[in-house]
Structure 1
Amino acid sequence: MGNEGSMLPGLDIDSKPVENTEEWTLHSATSSSSASPNLSVFCGRQTNHVNNNSLEHAIKNFRIYRHPNILKYISSWSHQGQLCMATESVSPLTTVLENQTVFEICLGLHDILKAVIFLHEKAFCSHNNVCCASIYVTFDGSWKLGGLEFLSRFSELTPDYLQKARARRYEKAVPPEEDAGKAIDPKAIDSFAFGILVEDVFCRIPEDIQIPGIKEFREIAKKQLQSLEPSLRPKLSQLLVQPIFNHRFVVIHDFLSELPLKSDDEKSSFFRGLADQLREFPEILLASQLSALLLSRLVLLDKTAQEHLLPLVLQPQNGTHVEGNLPLFSMNTFQQHIVPRLLHIFSVRDAQVRLLLLEHFEHYCCAFTKDQLRVKVLPELLVGIKDTSDTIVASTLRALAILVPILGSTTVIGGKRARLFTDGRPNISGILPKSSTITTLKDEERPLIKEKTTINNMAQEVALPLSLIELPERPSPDGGEDLALTAQLDEETDNWSDWDVNESQASTGIDESNEMTVHGSLESEVNLAESISAPLSLSQTSAVITASRNRLPDLTSLDIKNSIVAPRKQSVPEEIDFFQDMEPVISKPKLLQLDNLESQADTTNTNANLRCFDVDITANGLTDGEAWGDNEDWGDISDTDVLIS
């Protein structure tokens, strides 16, 4: 045949046969090079030369006579004297007939009838062996006519040819005129065999089945098609008008099968009302018989179908749809029948088909398993982002975004990733808002002041902590204090009996020694924001405060009542905390022993009380644009240093 060595590359044939006959064995196979990954392979037996001739004759006819309802031929080859033929993936009707429904049988008979009519009226041939053994069923439930090894042209058909092939033909389907030696009508041979086929496939179907026209059709098959007189047998083309073949479901199937022959107006009218008609039938019947036709290229590219039909096909039911817009298939049916076809369509490199799939991707992607999405769908989507069409790239990126929550960003985009964005929200625990309650100093952080019990007792030691205290920046500029906070502090101040005592002592100290300063050793301990080289005297402090009043609109925040003071331990009950929620960030206090305690105790007390409120408010302390309330900057904000003695 000239096919030596033409075996399909990458073909893997299952060693276990699906069907055994005297002429060949049927095997399932897979191919990595064929457009259809699943195939069926007929392998001729090597027992004798007759068997090889039978398969060789079938291969020749399959290559010549092509029809949608005839088994699709793909390739053939000879290997070590054994002939093999690869076809579309099918199963013998004899193995699946028990699982066929009445609708599927009616559709199958309609398919076989059209195939035989094609042979009679277009190819001018007779099949000569129409029976269950010559019929195969595809994955979608369509019946395909096979067994073309006995096919003969009308002009070549002779009684001798039929007699030689009779031993391998279905004996029940052999018409009686062959035995009588009468003239043979090629069409009558197939008509008689088709009547036997109808009887065989309906043998297990109850006669009172509620299908319009089925009872009448069975009568025609028995009494007319199997008539002993060949001239009384009707032509097979006349059977197409029978009610059984004009059932609404059969008409829909037939229209979709012959869609290329229909006009645009016919297709537009058909698709507008198709969804409502399909809802009248069981969804499993629709999925098994019509899924391939509903997802054919011609349907996918039809504008009317895209608008009125495909949105209901490319979406499984999820319980959230209204009744009038309910998809045709449940999730289980969708996964079983529609998903395999969608996976195959994703490999089609047609721009319009791909755009349609991407348009509805968010609706049906939930029906895929993660493995299907990762292995089958994702590689095809990644091809789309490399296309020159901006529309395809944009639609593909949207589909990839849908896959990120399902497969994870690492699987979808791959490569090494790093955390490039941070959470810019303020850390509430590290910021003291205006309305926050001020916290109190811990007991161990409070400065301890040992004061003399009497003025004349000069021998008692006085511990005055003069360490540098760094407080966080004020929550708002001077003059803009929170009224609620000020009111709260004023209310606490009114109940503090020691305020008057402290104020009187401070006034006395100022009158008696306004020229005294702290001992020189304090200079090494004090370091203000602008590196003050010498301690401030009372006069210097007063000058700084007076100058700053001209620049600041309100200095109530610097009042003694709003500042932190170490009260006398004997004046404040231990159970009352007057500095609640006013905790500054301070370092460990350092104690400084004064040399001249006896002569300078009063002066030190006075200056220490005053220096508690010394604030650097010079021009270097606060420049334009640094006010917290002006720029709302979340960066580092430096605080004004405050010295507490």
Structure 2
Amino acid sequence: MDYLRTLGSAAVSTIVQKSGLNLPFSLGAKLTQVEGYYNIYDATKRDDGSQVSVFEYDLGSKNTKPFAQNSLRKLRTTRHPDVLKFMEVVESDSTIYIMTERVRPLSAVLPQYAQKSAQEKEDWLIWGLQRISVALTFINEQCLSTHGKICVNSIFISPSGEWKLGGFEVFSNPRDENAVLYNLGGLLPGSSTYSPPEVKKTGWSALKEADVSAADSYALGLLLHAVFNPSHPPPPTVEPPHPPPQPSSRGAIPNSVFPHFKKLLNPNPKSRFSAKGFLEIGMTDSGFFSTNRLVQVCAGLDNFALASEAEKSTLLRTLKESASSFPPEFASNRILPSLLSALEYGGANAATILPLVLQFGTNVTPEDYPKLILTHIIKLYGSPDRGTRMALLEHLPEYIDKLDKKAVSDKIFPHLQLGFSDTVSVIREATIKSIISFAPKLSERILNNDLLRLLAKTQTDSEPSIRTNTCILIGRLGPSLGYNTKRKVLVPAFSRALRDPFVHTRVAGLMAFMATMDCFEIPEIATKVIPNMVFSLVDDEKLVRDQAFKALEIFVKKVQEYAEKMVCSLLWNLSLALIECTV
């Protein structure tokens, strides 16, 4: 075993042994072997448990070492949102492990989209090609380099369904004397399938004098054909004399793309359409990229904070109307995080955006829901914005079941209770109505003490509807209150409601007495409940009188039944006493 070198963004603190190497990750399932000289694994980063991918290069294979080293060197130094994200590497004389963000090979994902509708498939492919065109434009224009291996095997799919450009085995700059592409490009497995006509004619060294975009643009055209027509052979233009693609070879390539696809495959490198030109044509107002739903949504999400209110409203409306048609992984891992960010850091109307967060959150697994959704929702309860607080309460039924008791009692209620004294009556009323949903998740201390003190104040609120809803709430909470609390609170609370000037509050008081009848012992009914209800029989409002007669009838009947049992019990006891005396 040689001296181990560990490179990357962080030192390896926790290590495991595998094949004599110290690895900062735990290898999981092997996804595939690519072109016979490297393997891709699912893996878990050991220091934080995050999901990653690992590319394993076996340097013992013929000609692998220069390609693996070039891939490592270029991937480490090329940073772009559409390029596979490098994280860490471990290398020895025999093996190189490159750890990246979690991805899947495009070749493994394409068959899944074959089962989707033609429009869904086209949307996703066009979006993916747009991202690859952006990455290529960056490599050709800013890096002044040639990727050299644009094909299905060099593209990977993130958990959100986004296309990431990898495959940097021959990534080269013509100013580098030892550039791999011009010296060893022909030795890379499969290179002949995407090589341009000038390479087929004079070899890979011809690219050193050509424009850096020439080979990549030609390969981009072949990639476009391959993803739209995966079961078709390559177009005839790949073989001499390189005839231009005919309409009969279009297959599933959209009509709007086909004319520009032909320009990418121009056999003359000087006249060939570049990736940059292809991208610019596609991004015009009516271009095939700019009119794509997924491209539009991503652009809207990326620029959301800077967009005008009209643009924000348009995007949110589009998301709402098209929610069910987005790929699930795109909805959960691309749209949802952007919406949560906008919701947490501002720039969006909470009343509009929170329902979308909850809607897109339905695809999140129960294990991930607390971290991805609830963490942000709980934090929002501390927002001073009334629109945000109102939206949280209005949509409470959609997420309340997923909240645990500790989070509600310790993190939500301290903020929620401020709503009872808010100067805006709508907030006070919404807060009161929400308590019935929160109640099962509140601690006994909050339920029997803090909450009831707050409700005692809202029973005297200036708004009649708030006083009414408070009485109704106390009636519904009654059975869940502690034994001593019931004795102290219920009769005074409902009796206060019966003296309220608002007719519906008085009716609510009578109905609350009826709803909590089982909370009272019979002596308490006879000595406290009935005496406090009797005066309602002569209330000025017929609605109250009618309800009072119903309530009293029920309570009197309950006392009457109890009294009858008392008589029977007394007679039975007297009988037993007489029998004992006779004996």
TM range (shorter): 0.5 to 0.7
The size of the alignment, in residue pairs, is 415
- Retained in 2: the 8 A contact 1:71–1:88? yes
Q: Deviations over 1:491-541 (max 9, x none)?
A: xxxxxxxxxxxxxxxxxxxxxxxxxxxxxxxxxxxxxxxxxxxxxxxxxxx
Cα distance change of structure 1 residues 56 and 74 upon mapping to structure 2, 3 Å threshold:
same
Q: Deviations over 1:6-53 (max 9, x none)?
A: 44737653453101133321111123534x721111122142484344
Q: Distance in 2 between matches of 1:344 and 1:110?
A: 28
Q: Distance in 1 between matches of 2:324 and 2:177?
A: 45
- Where do 1:224-303 residues align within 5 Å? 224-240=263-279, 241-242=281-282, 243-256=287-300, 258-259=302-303, 264=306, 266-281=307-322, 283-285=324-326, 287-291=328-332, 292-296=334-338, 298-301=341-344, 303=346
Cα distance change of structure 1 residues 253 and 588 upon mapping to structure 2, 3 Å threshold:
closer
Aligned equivalent of 1:195, options 216, 221, 226: 221
Are residues 1:172 and 2:193 paired? Answer: yes
Are residues 1:75 and 2:101 paired? Answer: no
Q: Deviations over 1:600-641 (max 9, x none)?
A: xxxxxxxxxxxxxxxxxxxxxxxxxxxxxxxxxxxxxxxxxx
Q: Deviations over 1:144-177 (max 9, x none)?
A: 0011121112423789843512232532210110
Q: Distance in 1 between matches of 2:435 and 2:529?
A: 47
Cα distance change of structure 1 residues 250 and 347 upon mapping to structure 2, 3 Å threshold:
closer
Q: Secondary structure of 2:222's partner?
A: helix
Amino acid in structure 1 at the alignment position of 2:54: V
Are residues 1:150 and 2:150 paired? Answer: no
Cα distance change of structure 1 residues 307 and 160 upon mapping to structure 2, 3 Å threshold:
closer
Higher relative contact order, chain-length normalized (CA < 8 Å, sep 6+)? 1
Q: Distance in 2 between matches of 1:57 and 1:338?
A: 42
Cα distance change of structure 1 residues 150 and 164 upon mapping to structure 2, 3 Å threshold:
same
Cα distance change of structure 1 residues 150 and 275 upon mapping to structure 2, 3 Å threshold:
same
Aligned equivalent of 1:86, options 89, 95, 99: 99
Match of 2:76 in 1: 63
Cα distance change of structure 1 residues 434 and 214 upon mapping to structure 2, 3 Å threshold:
closer
RMSD: 5.0
- Higher gyration radius (CA): 1
Q: Which has the higher helix share?
A: 2
Are residues 1:33 and 2:36 paired? Answer: no
Match of 2:521 in 1: 427
Are residues 1:334 and 2:362 paired? Answer: yes
Which residues of structure 1 form unaligned runs of 5+? 317-328, 437-474, 476-578, 592-645
Superposed displacement of residue 99, structure 1: 2.0
Q: TM-score, normalised by structure 2?
A: 0.58
Q: Secondary structure of 1:153's partner?
A: coil
- Retained in 1: the 8 A contact 2:149–2:216? yes
- Retained in 2: the 8 A contact 1:351–1:392? no
Q: Distance in 2 between matches of 1:150 and 1:433?
A: 93
Q: Distance in 2 between matches of 1:139 and 1:155?
A: 36
Q: TM-score, normalised by structure 1?
A: 0.53
- Retained in 1: the 8 A contact 2:104–2:157? yes
Superposed displacement of residue 124, structure 1: 1.5
Q: Which moved more, 1:86-95 or 1:582-591?
A: 582-591
Aligned equivalent of 1:310, options 353, 356, 363: 353
Q: Distance in 2 between matches of 1:353 and 1:33?
A: 32
Match of 2:154 in 1: 134
Q: Distance in 1 between matches of 2:129 and 2:95?
A: 33
Match of 1:103 in 2: 123
Q: Which moved more, 1:75-84 or 1:165-174?
A: 75-84
Cα distance change of structure 1 residues 272 and 153 upon mapping to structure 2, 3 Å threshold:
same
Cα distance change of structure 1 residues 394 and 153 upon mapping to structure 2, 3 Å threshold:
farther
Q: Deviations over 1:186-242 (max 9, x none)?
A: 21110000000000011159999xxx9921312321x21111111111122222332
